[in-house]
Amino acid sequence: MTAMNSGSQEARSGVPRPGRVRAPQRDPEPPSGIQSHPAGFSARCRGPFWDFSGSAASAQAGAGLSLAQPLSSPRPRLHPAAGTRLLLSGGGSMAAGAAEAAVAALEEVGSAGQFEELLRLKAKSLLVVHFWAPWAPQCAQMNEVMAELAKEHPQVSFVKLEAEGVPEVSEKYEISSVPTFLFFKNSQKIDRLDGAHAPELTKKVQRHASSGSFPPSANEHLKEDLNLRLKKLTHAAPCMLFMKGTPQEPRCGFSKQMVEILHKHNIQFSSFDIFSDEEVRQGLKAYSNWPTYPQLYVSGELIGGLDIIKELEASEELDTICPKAPKLEERLKVLTNKASVMLFMKGNKQEAKCGFSKQILEILNSTGVEYETFDILEDEEVRQGLKAYSNWPTYPQLYVKGELVGGLDIVKELKENGELLPILRGEN
């Protein structure tokens, strides 16, 4: 998706469209993937996202499924969440009859007043609200998932709210796509999930349902804890980018441009996906008094968003502010010496992503020797560079004090000969 073309990214807000639920102008962060235009113009977003016109909303999901139908009134409607996908952890959807019965059991909110009353009544428990639309098939499928979760978590309240049917509530909570799920405790929003991601919805329900409820008097304490967390995050690396998505898969045009600029200038940075944590996404805006994303930090200090970075690039100041990435050979030397025993593998200690990596983990774990791992699947430069650096074409690769020991076959031979443990301990 390309960047928005008109105006400053830092101050842009949604353009009002008659009768449409939209993000309120008090929060200038633009909805991901939506381009602002003067009223009366269509808003077209390039890439695998959504087109809006005055008489219909058309959307194309990754599989090419057309989801929106022409409306009876000349106004665009909410669009399916960009990049949305449905992953059912149970191996498929329920049978049609059972699904309809289960979904029918979900409580439905039909007005803003009813919603506020529900927040009050359910203040002492977890409340999960599905903002949905009847014309989006993903929403119907996620209603089935909600119904199943309701059976597993009777202490949690699950409700559905037709986003376009109760626009006051949708606007208040910045609902710009469906399906969207909001999580409430003590009448306060504590989390958010955009898109039809059944496993992620299940994880969030399980996490929040097991965490218990917090009394209102704890709000200040929670705010203090959040600020400490944000301080740690902004200092997590010399250069930290808070963005939508990841450097490998940016989820908005601004984040994509920011990553391209940093890579072009060979700037070393770490990133945080704000879509992965709603608390961080909202809290960082207040923490740094900066309402939009992406945000770039150096040594814990906010540098700015995309427009500021472009200005610094134009004035040739960017290279003096941000830390440069070391040359690949220097980086590989540092990585292979990061720990006394280093394993470069596919996956990590918790989850090997190939059979060879899994076998070598089992061998190392049986020795009781401390070691660290590096997931080569997360860094293509390291994956290819290390092959040439050590003249070893396959993975996993085991290093002791920066020196290559070998791959799985060699490690197996060393174990059989009784030589592995002394080598890992640095005795040989």
In this prediction, residue 123 carries a pLDDT of 81
Residue 1 has pLDDT above 80, yes or no: no
Of the two residues 216 and 44, the one the predictor is more confident about is: 216
Q: Are 227 and 282 in contact (CB under 8 A)?
A: no
Q: Which residues contact 125 (CB under 8 A, 6 or more apart)?
A: 155, 156, 157, 185, 213
The residue out of 264, 293, 321 marking a domain boundary is 321
* DSSP state for residue 185 in the 8-state scheme: E
Q: Are 344 and 374 in contact (CB under 8 A)?
A: yes
298 and 315 share one domain: yes
In a domain, 340, yes or no: yes
351 and 372 share one domain: yes
Question: What is the pLDDT averaged over residues 7-27?
Answer: 37
Burial of residue 323 (number of CB atoms within 10 Å: 0-12, 13-18, 19+): middle
Residue 410 has pLDDT above 50, yes or no: yes
In a domain, 46, yes or no: no
251 and 225 share one domain: yes
* DSSP state for residue 350 in the 8-state scheme: S
Specify the DSSP element, H or E, that contains 138: helix 137-152
Q: Which residues contact 81 (CB under 8 A, 6 or more apart)?
A: 138, 177, 178, 179, 180, 194, 195, 196
Six token digits for residue 306: 């995309």
309 and 340 share one domain: no
336 and 306 share one domain: no
Q: Which residues contact 130 (CB under 8 A, 6 or more apart)?
A: 106, 139, 142, 143, 146, 158, 159, 160, 161, 179, 180, 181
Question: Pick from 333, 331, 315: which is nearest to 323 by CA?
Answer: 331
The residue out of 271, 286, 321 marking a domain boundary is 321
In a domain, 409, yes or no: yes
In this prediction, residue 131 carries a pLDDT of 95
The residue out of 286, 321, 356 marking a domain boundary is 321
State how far the Cα of 48 lies from the Cα of 65, in Å rounded to an integer: 12
Domain range for 400: 329-424
State how far the Cα of 373 lies from the Cα of 426, in Å rounded to an integer: 18
In degrees rounded to 5, what are phi and psi of residue 144?
A: -65, -45
In this prediction, residue 211 carries a pLDDT of 64
- Mean pLDDT for all residues in the chain: 77
3-class secondary-structure state, position 18 = coil
Model confidence pLDDT, tens digit, residues 162-214: 999 999 999 999 898 899 999 998 888 899 999 989 888 998 998 888 765 44
Residue 42 has pLDDT above 70, yes or no: no
| CATH code for the domain in which residue 361 is found | 3.40.30.10
Q: Which residues contact 361 (CB under 8 A, 6 or more apart)?
A: 343, 345, 349, 352
In a domain, 102, yes or no: no
State how far the Cα of 368 lies from the Cα of 354, in Å rounded to an integer: 22
Burial of residue 275 (number of CB atoms within 10 Å: 0-12, 13-18, 19+): buried
296 and 369 share one domain: no
Specify the DSSP element, H or E, that contains 145: helix 137-152
Distances (CA, A) of 391 to 278, 378, 387: 44, 21, 5
Tally the domains of the chain.
Answer: 2
User: Strands, DSSP E only, in 53-207?
Assistant: 57-59, 79-80, 107-109, 127-132, 157-162, 177-178, 180-185, 188-194
In a domain, 379, yes or no: yes
In this prediction, residue 57 carries a pLDDT of 33
In a domain, 278, yes or no: yes
In this prediction, residue 81 carries a pLDDT of 53
Model confidence pLDDT, tens digit, residues 348-395: 999 999 999 999 999 999 999 999 999 999 888 899 999 999 999 999
Model confidence pLDDT, tens digit, residues 96-133: 444 454 455 588 999 999 999 999 888 888 999 999 99
In a domain, 418, yes or no: yes
Six token digits for residue 113: 């007043």
Asked, as a colleague might, if the bond just before 18 is cis with ω within 30 of 0, I would say no
In a domain, 335, yes or no: yes
